[in-house]
Amino acid sequence: MSDVRVRFAPSPTGYLHIGGLRTALFNYLYARHTDGTMILRIEDTDRTRFVEGALENLLKALDWSGVEIDEGVMLDENGKVTEKGEYGPYIQSERVEAGIYNEYIEKLIEEDKAYYCFCSQERVDKVRDQQKADGLTPKYDGLCRSIPLEEAKQRVANGEEYTVRLKLPKNRDISFEDRIKGKITFNTDDMDDQVLIKRDGYPTYHFAVVVDDNAMKITHVVRGDEWISSTPKHVYLYEAFGWDAPEYIHLPTVLNENHKKYSKRNGDGMVEDFIEEGYTPEGLINFLSLLGWSPDSEEEIFSIEELAKQFDFDRVNKTGAVFDKRKLDWVNGHYVRDLSVEELAERIKPFMEKSGLIDESYPEEDLKLLAETWQSAVDKFSDAPKLSKNYFLDESEIEWDEEASQVLKEENTKKLVDAYLEKLGEADEIDEEFAKTIMKTLQKETGIKGKNLWFPIRAAITGSVHGPDLSNVMILMGKEKIEERLNYVKENF
Ligand code: GLU
Residue predicted with more confidence, 51 or 206? 206
| Residues 255-271: tens digit of each pLDDT | 988 888 887 666 679 99
pTM equals 0.93
Q: What is the strand order of the sheet 37-40 is part of?
A: 81-84, 71-75, 37-40, 5-8, 220-224, 247-251, 173-178, 182-187
Q: Is the CB of 380 within 6 Å of ligand 1?
A: no
Region 125-139 average pLDDT: 95
What is the spatial distance between Cα 59 and Cα 74, in angstroms, rounded to a whole number? 7
User: Are the CB atoms for 346 and 278 separated by under 8 Å?
Assistant: no
Q: Is the CB of 11 within 6 Å of ligand 1?
A: yes
Instruction: State the catalytic residues.
Output: 264
Closest atom, ligand 1, to C-alpha of 205: 1
User: Are the CB atoms for 40 and 81 separated by under 8 Å?
Assistant: no
Closest atom, ligand 1, to C-alpha of 23: 8
Q: Provide the pLDDT confidence category of residue 55 given band limits of 50, 70 and 90.
A: very high
What is the spatial distance between Cα 85 and Cα 62, in angstroms, rounded to a whole number? 19
Give distance in angstroms: CA of 6 to centre of ligand 1: 13
| Residues 288-297: tens digit of each pLDDT | 999 999 999 9
Q: What are the residues facing 72 on neighbouring strands? A: 40, 84
Closest atom, ligand 1, to C-alpha of 223: 8
Q: Is the CB of 209 within 6 Å of ligand 1?
A: yes
CA distance readout (Å), 161 to 42, 104, 157, 201, 299: 27, 20, 10, 10, 59
Listed residue (217, 219, 207) closest to 88, CA to CA? 217
Give distance in angstroms: CA of 322 to centre of ligand 1: 21
Give distance in angstroms: CA of 259 to centre of ligand 1: 23
Q: Is the CB of 461 within 6 Å of ligand 1?
A: no
Give distance in angstroms: CA of 53 to centre of ligand 1: 19
Structure confidence at residue 53 (pLDDT): 84
Phi, psi of 274 (to 5 degrees): -70, -35
Region 28-56 average pLDDT: 91
Q: What are the residues facing 220 on neighbouring strands? A: 6, 247
| Residues 287-328: tens digit of each pLDDT | 999 999 999 999 999 999 999 999 999 999 998 899 999 999
| Residues 192-238: tens digit of each pLDDT | 999 999 999 999 999 999 999 999 999 999 999 999 999 999 999 99
